[in-house]
Amino acid sequence: MNRLVIVANRVPNPGERGATAGGLAVALKDALAKREALWFGWSGQIAEATAADPVETRIGRITYATLDLGREDHRRYYLGFSNGSLWPTLHYRLGLAVFAREDHAGYRAVNAAFAAALAPMLRPDDTIWAHDFHLFPVGAALRALGCRQRIGFFLHVPFPPAGLFCALPRAAELLTDLAAYDVIGVQTEDDAVNLRAALAGVGQEEAAARVHAFPIGIEAEAFTTLAEKAIGKRETERFRQSLVDRALIIGVDRLDYTKGLPQRFCGYGQLLARFKTHRSKVTYLQVAPVSRGDVAQYRALRRELDEWVGRINGQHAEPDWAPLRYMTRAVARPVLAGFMRMARVGLVTPLRDGMNLVAKEYVAAQDPEDPGVLVLSRFAGAVAQLPGALLVNPLDPDEIAEALDQALTMKPAERKARWEECIVSVRRDGARAWCREFLSRLEGANDA
């Protein structure tokens, strides 16, 4: 079998390459287990200048090739254009987007540097798969260097309506870059419709026909096993005892303004204010490790959430009950899986999300005989695969409160029926199917 080359902004660290790995590493596990692979990208380290030659580490059949980013490139490419311009725009938050020509130039320069470092490592029959919004131009940069291999691209975040995306300066250039790819993958049919329209709008009709939706999933069985094994372990049991038979609501997110956390906290506050029967009978645990802590908007969000926590606990706590427990430390996946299994409600209310794997993990973690209820934003890509969830508008705290009340008082038979509607596609449309479907379209692309 030919080699698979993954190009992504981040390459997992040595410590993350085992059982604790998250995100893309988990989703690609199956594809990477079956064939020789090269994983290329940023090391996560910042140096004086961006390295020209990658550092290679081989573990089994996977070679990890990483470049350190220069300080200025990191600021322009990563913090500036990727996180400051593209991330908010792609999440429909044009008002939060900033644009600077220097950042845009830095973004293109790093993509060109990635291509220049990767090209000499490529074999003629490699299959190349580039990931996410940091790397819109890397395929075109590889083509400019003469690479004729199959190159696919997958966008993990949403793609907004064409008019919104095209308000971003240089949007047409980014869309033209996408035309270099043989397959352009997005999470949902809505994203595909939006991206096709945007491509057609800049005269890239042929590229528009290469856009397809591939909803990403999780390794459901493995996550279920993780959750089952966590029950009875010391950490899980200590947590259970601390709840003193109170129903648990759980939220697990990166601390990001797309995840709707202030509105969610407000919704929980509304539950306690309006549905008084739940007072002292429910505990909400929000795990939200700090991400992109060096970006001002993220620091402001953190302050806002600190205020919400103080307000809710200050207003509603009893001497023996804190209604909201909030952690900005990361929690290990096996422990999280156990907490999710214990939770009566999984609360997942992003304002926009490409997919949202936490929603699927919550479903996979449940005890089939006594499952909890998923309260899910109607703006998460995962909605299409989770028909049994209680859907809410994440901007409406009252609706969140009403859904929480409904979930907390739901009869076991309805909980079971709703969970069964969700688990079918969580199991069927897993990480393995996502990889298989994307790669079979990409590898069949030039044969058609």
What is the spatial distance between Cα 5 and Cα 64, in angstroms, rounded to a whole number? 10
Interface residue with ligand ADQ among 211, 357, 408, 431 (CB under 6 A) is 357
Number of amino acids touching ligand ADQ (CB under 6 A): 21
Residue 361 near ligand ADQ by CB under 6 A = yes
Residue 324 near ligand ADQ by CB under 6 A = no
Residues numbered 327 to 346 that lie near ligand ADQ (CB under 6 A) are 330-331, 336
Who contacts 77 (Cβ-Cβ below 8 Å, separation ≥6)?
69, 103, 106, 107, 109, 110, 111, 134
Q: What angle do CA 130, 82, 258 make, to 5 degrees?
A: 105
* Catalytic-role residue among 190, 253, 353, 429: 353
Residue 264 near ligand ADQ by CB under 6 A = no
Interface residue with ligand ADQ among 73, 253, 399, 402 (CB under 6 A) is 253
Token pair 């379209």 in the structure block, residue = 441
Catalytic annotation present for 367 = no
Who contacts 313 (Cβ-Cβ below 8 Å, separation ≥6)?
322, 323, 324
Catalytic annotation present for 353 = yes
Residue 29 near ligand ADQ by CB under 6 A = no
Residues numbered 182 to 221 that lie near ligand ADQ (CB under 6 A) are 216
Residue 103 near ligand ADQ by CB under 6 A = no
- Cβ closest to ligand ADQ, residue 147 vs residue 220: 220
What is the spatial distance between Cα 320 and Cα 238, in angstroms, rounded to a whole number? 16
* Catalytic-role residue among 156, 177, 182, 278: 156
Helix (H, G, I), strand (E, B) or coil at 271: helix
H-helix or E-strand containing 53? Answer: none
Contact 173, 198 (CB under 8 A): no
Which of these segments, 29-37, 188-196, 273-281, 352-360, binds ligand ADQ (CB under 6 A)? Answer: 352-360
- Cβ closest to ligand ADQ, residue 38 vs residue 351: 351
Who contacts 104 (Cβ-Cβ below 8 Å, separation ≥6)?
81, 85, 169, 170
Alpha-carbon distances, residue 306 vs 256, 302, 349 (angstroms): 14, 6, 18
Interface residue with ligand ADQ among 353, 399, 402, 429 (CB under 6 A) is 353
- Cβ closest to ligand ADQ, residue 216 vs residue 312: 216
Which value, in Å, is the radius of gyration of the alpha carbons in the chain?
22
Assigned token pair, 274: 């309006």
Residues numbered 146 to 165 that lie near ligand ADQ (CB under 6 A) are 156-157
Interface residue with ligand ADQ among 13, 21, 22, 246 (CB under 6 A) is 22
Question: In angstroms, what is the minimal distance from the CB of 1 to ligand ADQ?
Answer: 25
- Cβ closest to ligand ADQ, residue 25 vs residue 423: 25
What is the spatial distance between Cα 273 and Cα 288, in angstroms, rounded to a whole number? 24
Task: List active site positions.
Answer: 156, 353
Q: Where on the chain is the footprint of ligand ADQ (CB under 6 A)?
A: 22-23, 156-157, 216, 252-254, 287-289, 330-331, 336, 353-358, 361
